[in-house]
Amino acid sequence: MTFISSAIYGCPLFSGIEEKELDGMLGCLDAKTTNFSKGGYILRAGSTVESLGLMVLGNAFIIQEDFWGNRNILSSIGQGQCFGETFACVPGAALNVNVVAQSKATVMFLNVKRILSMCPSSCTHHSRMIQNLLAGLAGKNLLFNEKITHLGQRTTRAKLLSYLSAEARRHSSAEFDIPFTRQQLADYLSVERSGLSLELSKMRKDGLLEFHKNHFLLKS
């Protein structure tokens, strides 16, 4: 299907791999596609996985939940992005996060063991995929360190300034959309929603930014 092809071709995991090689590689990697409804759990904490997920259609959040149901959003997953690689690369490692679909979602699961081990058919670009996997893991480590920087700020305003500055750099623009609603942004930054909304209003009054829903414009 076209949307599946679009997600695969745009996925960093397959960077540098020619389209003509993909069909054979997907068979080699035991690719399986599954559909999920909005709010459905794609992966659950406590389970173990042998495959990474590739978001073919839709989006999801990686979420940590404590015993009382308090949520901490770790990151968002969009079309063409992978998730679950770290746990799949460590045999028997139990997930400490949930992956929850935020819309109708289609996910392709790829067996990590078959990525890390050279296949019997000796795919020409197999080594390139291993390099891409390592690069992806390193990139996610950088994003995790970035979030630690946001959470390490002492006030809600400082956390917002840190996060929004990082998003402006990522988009190479002072105007951008973020992937979170107000509640989701509060969960991501580990602050109360009411306090976050109040601080955003104060920042707008102080001339630091303008916003409408998840669209932001930062002002110098």
Q: Model confidence over 51-83: pLDDT tens digits?
A: 999 999 999 999 998 878 888 999 999 999 999
Residue type, 77: I
Indicate if the pLDDT at residue 3 is higher than 70.
no
Indicate if the pLDDT at residue 116 is higher than 90.
no
Q: What's the pLDDT at 4? A: 67
Nearest Cα neighbor of 113 from 130, 137, 138 is 130
Residues 6+ positions from 23 with CB-CB distance below 8 Å: none
CA distance 207 to 220: 8
Q: What's the pLDDT at 124? A: 62
Indicate if the pLDDT at residue 19 is higher than 80.
no
Cα 91-93-98 angle, rounded to 5 deg: 130
Q: What's the pLDDT at 123? A: 59
Return the higher-pLDDT residue of 25 and 208.
208
% of residues, the chain, pLDDT over 70: 95
40 sits in the region (left: phi over 0; alpha: psi -120 to 50; else beta) called beta
Task: Share the mean pLDDT of the chain.
Answer: 91
Its pTM stands at 0.82
Which of the 8 DSSP states describes residue 123?
A: -
C-alpha dihedral (58, 62, 64, 69), degrees to nearest 10: -10
CA distance 86 to 98: 14
Say if residue 77 is exposed, middle or buried (CB neighbours under 10 Å; 0-12, 13-18, 19+). buried
Mean pLDDT, to the nearest integer, of 124-143?
A: 87
Q: Which residue has the tokens 């409804």?
A: 37
Return the higher-pLDDT residue of 119 and 50.
50
How far separated are the first and last CA of the chain, in Å rounded?
Answer: 45
CA distance 126 to 149: 35
Residue 46 burial (CB count, 10 A): 9
Lowest mean pLDDT among 23-27, 89-93, 146-150, 169-173: 23-27
State the pairing for strand pair 175-177/215-218: antiparallel
Band (20; pLDDT cuts 50, 70, 90): confident
